[in-house]
């Protein structure tokens, strides 16, 4: 005899009160915290529980009794299906307010350390078309809404789609007609590739069968006008190679503004191409992005902050806090230029950005290719006081390494979302720099690390920076200074 799963209840006339992680909102019903997507504080809704644990639940709004007066009309036709810009129904001023609240909630709740007042969050001047990089997948299985499924019942489905992976369906692509994350060049390129492929009988990738020629594409734009377009193919025959090169020739002739036209043959069981050779069909194998008087060479595998203008704001904040910021009443107090360690340096953007104010900058990064980019970017800009090392941070940054290269006056750290390894934190504590500038894309793990540093360091500045409008993501910079001078 089968046991039927117990039906979860519907909660009626519930007013949404707060914003939570992952772009969801929340409400507390008695002792139960309920997380709900696609709603905003002030909405009054009926909630159908979809998952229930002891102290929290997840739910979907099945009926709206009242819309919040904070709501605005989403500007993208794909909103609510594409999961990329979950906060379009919130005015940007409200998005910034909630992001700053999330930063402070994380630091206070998790860090549990004494904190300075938070500076007002620095919003993005552009709230649309702000990205310099977008990636789209290709698939022969198409994610359709219920309405779209009814429309195609009487006619043939499209042969394939180019767009974003649909949530909960790893083998399906949501076809994107217009994306506002990048300027209109992304729409022209993506839609032309889709239309030409369908018209000329190119197959689209089937993730289950691992066949199909057209697999994905990446577009990068430079603030100097250069454009990179990379196509991922899955070429399994000479006929498919011929078709792939016909598409590349079409793109070369149709879009002469593309300065770096690249392709890669990816027959692996994942979409990453970091370990694969990238072929140049025409133009250069890179573009340049500019920041002040610096030029940064960016290849298809390079990491660079995807919001160019806000990256400059973020790095300016880091530089100001590293060298002394009058708003915080802090000054370097050193006659000599400082020795700076730039941890998780990536392609050396921050390291090169602060190098002219430093005696020397030592950058450490896990990815060897990124370190080669960092060295090349120093060379391109005539910067001679940087040194870069590749390897796992906890293995490279040791007491012996610091004895060899010198005790840092300043540590700038910009770790991944997981934060810093405990061994790295302990090494920093033993190195005892005058100050630490901690740049984070995850205030929760930043708060955890601040707690570990708290015995020796106190926070003097908190500066959130919004890099990704219409999403829940936020960067945060914290300045820490040593509590006691070295003997």
Which residues are tagged catalytic? Answer: 441
DSSP type of residue 405: H
**Distances from the Cα of 13 to the Cα of 17, 59, 66, 69, 415, angstroms:** 13, 14, 9, 17, 43
Exposed/middle/buried for 403, CB within 10 Å: 0-12, 13-18, 19+?
A: exposed
Residue spans of alpha helices (H) in 367-408: 368-380, 393-396, 399-405
In 3D, which of 258, 254, 415 has the Cα closest to residue 350? 415
**Distances from the Cα of 480 to the Cα of 322, 328, 449, angstroms:** 10, 11, 12
CA distance 476 to 375: 27
Q: Sort strands 475-482 and 457-465 into parallel, antiparallel or unpaired.
A: antiparallel
Which tokens sit at 210?
């691992």
CA distance 77 to 486: 59
Contact 279, 264 (CB under 8 A): yes
Look at the block and give the residue holding tokens 């700076």: 340
Annotate 203-232 with b (16+ C-beta within 10 A) or e (fewer).
bbbbbeeeebbbbbbbbbbbeeebbbbbbb
């Amino acid at each position: 005899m089968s046991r039927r799963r117990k039906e979860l209840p519907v909660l009626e006339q519930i007013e949404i009160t707060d914003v939570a992680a992952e772009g969801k909102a929340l409400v507390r019903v008695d002792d139960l915290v309920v997380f709900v997507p696609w709603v905003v504080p002030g909405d009054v809704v009926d909630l159908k529980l979809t998952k229930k644990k002891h102290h929290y639940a997840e739910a979907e709004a099945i009926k709206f009794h009242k819309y919040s007066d904070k709501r605005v009309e989403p500007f993208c036709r794909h909103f609510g299906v594409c999961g990329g810009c979950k906060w379009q129904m919130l005015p940007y001023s409200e998005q910034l307010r909630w992001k700053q609240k999330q930063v402070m909630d994380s630091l206070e709740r998790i860090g549990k350390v004494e904190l300075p007042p938070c500076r007002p969050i620095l919003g993005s001047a552009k709230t649309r078309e702000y990205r310099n990089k977008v990636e789209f997948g290709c698939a022969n299985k198409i994610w359709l809404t219920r309405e779209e499924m009814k429309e195609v019942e009487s006619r043939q489905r499209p042969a394939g789609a180019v767009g974003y992976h649909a949530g909960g369906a790893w083998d399906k692509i949501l076809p994107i007609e217009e994306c506002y994350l990048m300027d209109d060049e992304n729409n022209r390129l993506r839609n032309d590739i889709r239309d030409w492929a369908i018209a000329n009988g190119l197959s689209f990738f089937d993730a289950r069968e691992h066949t199909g020629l057209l697999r994905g594409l990446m577009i990068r734009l430079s603030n100097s006008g250069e454009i990179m377009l990379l196509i991922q193919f899955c070429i399994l025959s000479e006929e498919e190679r011929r078709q792939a090169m016909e598409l590349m020739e079409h793109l070369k002739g149709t879009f002469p503004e593309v300065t770096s036209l690249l392709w890669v043959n990816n027959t692996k069981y994942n979409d990453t191409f970091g370990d694969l050779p990238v072929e140049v069909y025409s133009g250069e194998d890179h573009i340049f992005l500019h920041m002040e008087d610096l030029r940064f060479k960016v290849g298809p595998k390079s990491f660079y902050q995807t919001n160019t203008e806000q990256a400059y704001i973020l790095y300016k904040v880091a530089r100001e806090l590293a060298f002394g910021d009058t708003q915080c009443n802090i000054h370097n107090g050193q006659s000599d230029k400082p020795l700076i360690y730039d941890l998780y340096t990536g392609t050396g953007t921050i390291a090169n950005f602060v190098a002219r104010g430093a005696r020397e900058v030592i950058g450490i990064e896990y990815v060897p290719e990124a370190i080669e980019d960092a060295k090349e970017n120093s060379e391109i800009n005539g910067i001679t006081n940087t040194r870069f090392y590749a390897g796992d941070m906890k293995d490279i940054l040791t007491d012996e390494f610091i004895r060899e290269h010198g005790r840092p006056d300043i540590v700038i750290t910009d770790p991944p979302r997981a934060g810093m390894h405990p061994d790295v934190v302990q090494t920093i504590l033993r190195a005892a720099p005058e100050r630490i500038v901690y740049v984070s894309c995850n205030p929760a793990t930043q708060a955890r690390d601040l707690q570990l540093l708290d015995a020796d360091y106190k926070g003097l500045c908190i500066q959130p920076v919004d890099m990704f409008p219409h999403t829940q993501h936020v960067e945060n910079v914290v300045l820490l200074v040593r509590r006691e001078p070295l003997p």
